[in-house]
Amino acid sequence: MNKLLEVTDLKKIFGGSVRAVDGVSFSLAERETLALVGESGCGKSTVSRLILRLTNPTQGTIRFEGKDITRISQGALKSIRREIQFVFQDPFSSLDPRMTAGEIVTEPLSVHGLVRNGRERRSTAERLLQAVGLSSKHVDNWPRQFSGGQRQRLGIIRAFALGPRLIVADEPVSALDVSVRSQVINILQDMQEDKGTAYLFISHDMATVRHMADRVAVMYLGKIVELAPKTSFFAGPQHPYAEALLSAVPASHPSKRRRRILLAGDPPSPISIPSGCRFHTRCPIAQDVCKSSEPPLKPVADNHLAACHFAQAWPIASRLKDVDAPTEGGRFDNVPGDLQVCR
Amino acid sequence: MLDRIFVTFSVCFLVLLAVVVVFGDFIQPHDPLLQNFAVRDQGPSSTYWLGTDDFGRDVFSRILEGSRLSMTVGLVSPLIAAIIGITMGTSAAYFGGWPERIVTRLTDMMMSFDPLLLGVLVVALLGPGILNLSIAISFALIPSFIRLSRASALAVRQEAYVDAAIAMGRPSYSTIVRHVLPNISGPLVVMTTLWIGTAIRLEATLSFIGLGAQPPAPSWGNIVRYGVQNIFGSPLPALFAGLAITLTVLSFNILGDALRDRLDPDRTVR
């Protein structure tokens, strides 16, 4: 597999002490979807901002198509930015209220000088709007005249306007109603199939992740604790934290229920990260060794990495039933989101 | 309802004022500088509508002529202050870091002086005169513009669409012009309008204490000044020039308030 994006030992420390991202490494192949999951504050959004170079990393490297883009200037970055686009979480804040829909979706093109005049810009805008199922009549509408789902579609088509190789999608559907979520996810999938774009898909919603991802990376307190292909991950997460996350997803049938693992308390502050394994303060199977030595992210099965001293020992024993097979490339039907994702 | 009447009157008055400023030469019934000692300190008459001053000059013509100077200073100074202040304020908010700290500290320092005091200081350094007066008033207004534009821009800077613009490769100045400025324009337009009133008042004040327009050229400020010196000869020049100042400042303030209500994001559909 060709590595499109390669992130090595990425660190972001805010204000000298807040270790938001604390040594994250992963890579992303062309056309691949890597889901980055974790609870609020685990640093997954910071990772996306670092990759988009909206903030500079404290340490580590980001390579795009083999080229180190970690420290190059914003000017030199401009050509790379054509290849890396983004979809943000909040469809209300991510569209400038003082721009029309047409201006918004063609903004990347005009920034990169790819539309020559107003007429061309307008016809391109109409074409783009139609590509995500919006009417070309909407071209002069203001963002406030669209619904949340429509706005997010504007955001998506803006991301695809330049034909990027990679799209960083930071919780693109979590702000949407369940009823429009599946619609937007289908658009994201269709666009990916069409254009062959890779996604770094950031989410805290395991159902969406199961539907979208090829591989899953679980973050906890600024570090990746598990990184695995989707099938292998959903069949048997190796890290107790990943197991706990999965157990929080409601099952569609009582027989498919996992044993619910309740994590006590809040995640520790990224200002004072626990010694040893950073999860030991909340881990249901923590031993003495976990307090003193930090487990590395190491292979436990084919392409399946986990950072736990008891990786292989843990999941088999804990699961009540063997889990339902992941949905393979299935589409959502016209059923409200949450109901089908867990089938 | 009463509000609307006030706003209508203000707008009408300001339109009238604009006409007077632009076409003053054709409207003035007499030469505002022409002295005629035969008609000193007269009351209103069909020839001299608002009477004459102690040099026998027509008060009405002088007030019309004075409006040009007062309005020029009143409009130009806030505009200059707005351009400089908004540039500094938005840049400080957008880029942050040590330039922002310096700009904020300087603003705090300047804000601790009364605008009038700052104006006096600048004129004292540069000498009286209409250009220096404009500079002085602009200088006095800049900190307010920095402060408001910085505060508004800081809020807009947090919006995801600014990150979006950066992430799609838009250069900083272009992001400021295309995304930040349009989204902070509402409060800034309102404040500019309100400061026009203040600038006119400042001009009058500085001219009144002899730091502005130099005689014989009339400005509302120095008409009041010399009118007061001769208040027992004829109170009319000071009275009517004062009235002109009051009405103009009031009109701009009412207009500013109306604009604020109109541009208030809570009142418009978002």
Longest dimension (CA), chain A: 69
> Please, what is the Cα angle at A200 between A199 and A205, to 5 degrees?
105
Question: Is B171 touching A (CB cutoff 8 A)?
Answer: yes
Nearest-CB residue to B270 (from A85, A97, A162): A97
- Verify whether the Cβ–Cβ distance B182 to A98 is below 8 Å: yes
In this predicted structure, what is the pLDDT of residue A314?
53
Backbone angles phi, psi at A177, to 5 degrees: -60, 150
Average pLDDT over residues A80-93: 92
CA distance B196 to chain A (A): 26
In this predicted structure, what is the pLDDT of residue B21?
87
Residues A10-23 have pLDDT tens digits of 999 998 888 899 99
Alpha helices in chain A (DSSP H): 44-51, 74-81, 101-111, 118-131, 148-160, 178-195, 206-212, 230-235, 240-247, 288-292, 314-318, 337-341
Buried b / exposed e along A298-321 (16+ C-beta atoms within 10 A):
eebeeebbbbbbbbeebbeebbee
Residues of chain A whose beta carbon is less than 8 angstroms from a beta carbon of chain B are 49, 52-54, 74-75, 77-78, 81-82, 84-86, 88-90, 93-98, 107-108, 111-112, 144, 158, 162
CA distance A96 to chain B (A): 6
- Verify whether the Cβ–Cβ distance B160 to A78 is below 8 Å: no
Q: Can you tell me which residue has the tokens 């469809």?
A: A91
- Enumerate domains of chain A plus CATH numbers: 3-201+212-218 (3.40.50.300), 222-318 (no CATH)
Q: What does pLDDT average to over chain A? A: 84
Backbone angles phi, psi at B51, to 5 degrees: 80, -170
Backbone angles phi, psi at A301, to 5 degrees: -155, -170
Q: What type of residue is B154? A: L
In this predicted structure, what is the pLDDT of residue A321?
39
What are the domain boundaries of chain B? Answer: 2-23+50-263
* CB count in 10 Å sphere of residue A14: 14
**How many whole angstroms from its chain centre is CA A133?**
24
In this predicted structure, what is the pLDDT of residue B265?
55
**Nearest of B72, B30, B67 to residue B50 by alpha carbon:** B30
Q: Flag whether pLDDT at A324 surpasses 60.
A: no
What is the C-alpha to C-alpha distance for residues B95 and B107, in angstroms, rounded to an integer?
A: 17
- Verify whether the Cβ–Cβ distance A88 to B164 is below 8 Å: yes
Do the Cβ atoms of B153 and B90 come closer than 8 Å? yes
Q: What type of residue is A323? A: V
**Nearest of A15, A340, A30, A10 to residue A178 by alpha carbon:** A340
Backbone angles phi, psi at A73, to 5 degrees: -70, 160
Poorest-pLDDT segment among A280-289, A306-315, B238-247: A306-315
Residues A29-62 have pLDDT tens digits of 999 999 999 888 888 889 999 999 999 999 999 9
Average pLDDT over residues A90-119: 91
- Verify whether the Cβ–Cβ distance A144 to B269 is below 8 Å: yes
Poorest-pLDDT segment among A202-211, A314-323, B33-42, B157-166: A314-323
What is the C-alpha to C-alpha distance for residues A18 and A277, in angstroms, rounded to an integer?
A: 18
**Nearest of A181, A154, A179, A145 to residue A88 by alpha carbon:** A154
- Verify whether the Cβ–Cβ distance A86 to B164 is below 8 Å: yes
What is the C-alpha to C-alpha distance for residues B70 and B221, in angstroms, rounded to an integer?
A: 8
Q: How many residues in total does chain B contain? A: 270
Residues of chain B positioned with their CB less than 8 A from the CB of A78: 169
Using the 8-state DSSP alphabet, how is residue A228 labeled? E
Backbone angles phi, psi at A197, to 5 degrees: -85, 150
Structure tokens belonging to residue A288: 């003495």
What is the C-alpha to C-alpha distance for residues A109 and B214, in angstroms, rounded to an integer?
A: 56
What is the C-alpha to C-alpha distance for residues A39 and A216, in angstroms, rounded to an integer?
A: 14
Non-local CB neighbours of A311 within 8 Å, separated by 6+ positions: A238, A239, A295, A298, A300
Residues of chain B positioned with their CB less than 8 A from the CB of A86: 164, 167
Non-local CB neighbours of B56 within 8 Å, separated by 6+ positions: B35, B36, B37, B38, B39, B40, B42
Whether the model clears a pTM of 0.90, i.e. scores above it, the answer is no
Residue A223: beta bridge partners?
A220
CATH node for B2-23+50-263: 1.10.3720.10
pLDDT per residue of chain B (270 residues) written in tens, 0 to 9:
778 889 999 999 999 999 988 887 787 888 888 787 877 777 788 777 787 887 878 888 888 888 888 888 889 999 999 999 999 999 999 998 899 999 999 999 988 888 888 888 888 888 888 888 888 889 889 999 999 999 999 999 999 999 999 999 999 999 999 999 999 988 898 888 888 888 888 888 888 888 877 777 888 888 888 888 888 888 888 888 899 999 999 999 898 888 877 776 555 443
Q: Flag whether pLDDT at A320 surpasses 70.
A: no
Q: Is the dihedral of CA A87, A88, A91, A94 positive or negative?
A: negative
In this predicted structure, what is the pLDDT of residue B267?
52
Structure tokens belonging to residue A137: 């009549």
In this predicted structure, what is the pLDDT of residue A124?
93
- Verify whether the Cβ–Cβ distance B165 to A107 is below 8 Å: yes
Poorest-pLDDT segment among A24-28, A142-146, B147-151, B257-261: B257-261
- Verify whether the Cβ–Cβ distance A111 to B160 is below 8 Å: no
**Nearest of B233, B215, B237, B244 to residue B71 by alpha carbon:** B244
Average pLDDT over residues A92-103: 92
